[in-house]
């Protein structure tokens, strides 16, 4: 290590203070362990400062704009005169700052030491920061992920990742979004709500390729109705900045121009230096066993560093799981498939469990039902369209448990909790059908779909 100073030692030494890292520190502190958190930037990481929270604030402002524009549909006369991006950013930042202050308070309250600086894992359960060694009885690698760049598309002023797009001082007049995954769809939706002309280019045959086919089709139809251009199966061969805009070339020779290009083609693990320190990696992800242990004894990896869905709430779960193991407990880690997924666009897409095609592949005999939000009173009040799809194993009226739920429509993300309990607890439709849903709520749509699978639909034409 080349340093003779005695290392500062704690029970749990965590490299990275994002969702996974800070959750690990908080749980470790709660369990009476000493914890040290090493963070280069601000605790809270990507999710709090450059991801989940600021994007959802921008999307909420976008929803306010949409509702204002559509006010007359509800008999309210209102005119959308302008979107003041400086004020929108101030609102967004106030939410982030408040949460950041709260998080700092929690961390201090649990007696967690925070070391500010760039940490380098050097093996032997040691991380060096500014030449100072820190050791842990256990080390937790939690350095997260960063936007992926692609060849022939140099990032610059007008060709940007989501980090930059979040800070744009002005609304682009026209925007091209490269990648129709979660980030691409959320930004496309937001910019369109703010008044931009948006085109989404997706290499795969449909948007959100990881979601159920039905969700992708329903979402795509809704986005097209909003005036967003979606080009699926589009391969981009290059892009460059040209004065006041960007020029994008597609395979087949087609060219497109816009004010800005957002590159949203996935995120890669921030694992530089780990392999050199002897940590086994696989395509950049840290290789772990089912207890999230790396090939170094007492060294764990959590969150986006571990291959699987890159979601903040998965990071929280990983961090808590590892802290409990270090404390000598025997925790259970939820399977990735049971982690809920929400895309916060207008309309939203939410899901948990298997898609219809993967359920069919896995079980052969399955039944899927879609309940259209057209029959759901609250969705009609909100004037949102979409549906709820529930998949069970086996036959409609006598089969097995619910294995997947997929929903499209405004606000359906808020329904995912109940869906997740059904799938996670392997509920039979007949187990949940007797539970009464408050009327009128969007939850009733999930209830109706389950009633139909249990053989007793109330508001579905037989």
Which sequence positions are flagged as catalytic?
439
SS3 178: strand
H or E element that contains 209: none
Q: Which residue is nearest to ligand NAD (CB)?
A: 181
Taking the least distance from each CB to ligand NAD, the nearer of 266 and 331 is 266
**Minimum distance of ligand NAD from residue 320's CB (angstroms):** 19
Closest by Cα among 423, 426, 427, 451 to 437: 451
Q: Which is nearer to ligand NAD, 147 or 379 (CB)?
A: 147
Q: Minimum distance from CB of 308 to ligand NAD (Å)?
A: 9
Nearer to ligand NAD, 11 or 220 (CB): 220
Question: DSSP string spanning 111-170?
Answer: T-EEEES-EEEEETTEEEETTEEEEEEEEEE---EEEPP-TT----SSEE-HHHHTT-SS
Q: How many other C-beta atoms lie within 10 A of the C-beta of residue 268?
A: 16
When the beta carbons of 11 and 186 are compared against ligand NAD, the nearer one is 186
Beta-carbon-side half-sphere exposure of residue 152 (alpha carbons within 13 Å): 11
- Other C-beta atoms closer than 10 Å to the C-beta of 329 total 10
Question: ∠ CA 60-415-369 to the nearest 5 degrees?
Answer: 125
Q: Indicate the residue among 1 and 149 with the shorter CB distance to ligand NAD.
A: 149
Q: Least distance to ligand NAD from the beta carbon of 90, Å? A: 22
Least distance in Å: CB of 80 to ligand NAD?
A: 26
Closest CB to ligand NAD among 261 and 453? Answer: 261
Nearer to ligand NAD, 83 or 150 (CB): 150
Q: Which one, of 115, 121, 165, lies nearest residue 142 by Cα?
A: 121
Instruction: Tell me which DSSP letter residue 293 carries.
Output: B
Question: Tokens 């903040």 appear where?
Answer: 312
Look at residue 378 and give its three-state secondary structure. Answer: helix
**Whole-number minimum distance, CB 86 to ligand NAD, in Å?**
24
Q: How far is the CB of 53 from ligand NAD (least distance, A)?
A: 11
Smallest gap, in angstroms, from Cβ of residue 163 to ligand NAD? 12
Instruction: Print burial letters for 429-453: b (CB count within 10 Å at least 16), e (below 16).
Output: beebbeeebeeebbbbbbbbbbbbb
> How many CB atoms are closer than 10 A to CB 298?
15
Closer CB to ligand NAD, 209 or 298, in the complex: 209
Q: How far is CA 405 from CA 109, 243, 408, in A?
A: 39, 47, 10
Is-contact 271 143, C-beta < 8 A?
yes
**Which residues bind to ligand NAD, rule: CB under 6 A?**
150, 178-184, 186, 201-204, 209, 236, 264-267, 309-311, 342-344
Q: How far is CA 27 from CA 2, 299, 302, 339, 396, in A?
A: 33, 17, 14, 20, 43
Asked whether 268 and 146 are in contact (CB, 8 A), the reply is: yes
CB of 364 to ligand NAD, least distance (A): 28
Can you read off the two tokens belonging to residue 302?
A: 């959590």
């Amino acid at each position: 290590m080349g340093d003779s100073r005695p290392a500062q030692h704690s029970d749990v030494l965590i490299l990275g203070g994002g969702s996974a890292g800070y959750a690990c520190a908080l749980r470790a502190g709660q369990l009476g362990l000493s914890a040290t958190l090493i963070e280069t930037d601000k605790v809270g990481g990507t999710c709090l400062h450059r991801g989940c929270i600021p994007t959802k604030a921008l999307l909420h402002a976008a929803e306010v704009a949409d509702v204002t524009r559509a006010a007359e549909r509800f008999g309210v006369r209102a005119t959308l005169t302008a979107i003041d991006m400086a004020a929108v950013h101030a609102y967004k930042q106030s939410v982030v700052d408040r949460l950041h202050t709260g998080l700092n308070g929690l961390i201090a309250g649990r007696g967690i030491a925070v070391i500010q600086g760039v940490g380098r894992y050097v093996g032997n359960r040691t991380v060096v920061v500014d030449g100072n060694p820190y050791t842990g009885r256990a080390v937790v690698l939690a350095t997260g992920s960063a936007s992926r760049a692609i060849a022939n598309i140099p990032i610059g002023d007008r060709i940007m990742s989501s980090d930059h797009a979040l800070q744009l001082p002005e609304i682009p007049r026209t925007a091209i979004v490269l990648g129709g995954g979660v980030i691409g769809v959320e930004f496309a939706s937001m910019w369109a709500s703010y008044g931009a002309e948006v085109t989404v280019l997706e290499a795969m045959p449909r948007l959100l390729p990881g979601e159920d086919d039905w969700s992708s089709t329903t979402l795509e139809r809704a986005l097209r109705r909003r005036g967003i251009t979606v080009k699926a199966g589009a391969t981009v061969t290059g892009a460059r900045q040209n004065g006041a805009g960007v020029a994008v070339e597609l395979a087949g020779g087609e060219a497109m121009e816009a004010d800005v290009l957002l590159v949203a083609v996935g995120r890669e693990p921030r694992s530089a230096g780990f392999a050199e320190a002897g940590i086994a990696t696989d395509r950049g992800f840290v290789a772990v066993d089912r207890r999230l242990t790396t090939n170094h004894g007492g060294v764990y990896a959590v969150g986006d560093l571990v291959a699987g869905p890159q979601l903040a709430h998965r990071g929280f779960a990983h961090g808590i799981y590892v802290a409990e193991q270090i404390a000598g407990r025997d925790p259970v880690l939820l399977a990735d498939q049971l982690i809920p997924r929400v895309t916060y666009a207008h309309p939203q897409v939410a899901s948990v469990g298997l898609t219809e095609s993967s359920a069919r592949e896995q079980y052969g005999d399955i039944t899927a039902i879609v309940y259209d939000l057209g029959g759901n009173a609250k969705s009609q009040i909100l004037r949102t369209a979409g549906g709820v799809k529930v998949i069970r194993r086996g036959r409609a009226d006598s089969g097995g448990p619910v294995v997947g739920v997929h929903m499209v429509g405004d606000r359906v993300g808020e329904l995912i909790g109940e869906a997740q309990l059904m799938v996670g607890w392997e509920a039979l439709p007949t187990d949940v059908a007797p539970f009464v849903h408050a009327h009128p709520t969007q939850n009733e749509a999930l209830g109706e779909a389950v009633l139909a699978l249990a053989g007793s639909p109330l508001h579905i034409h037989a």
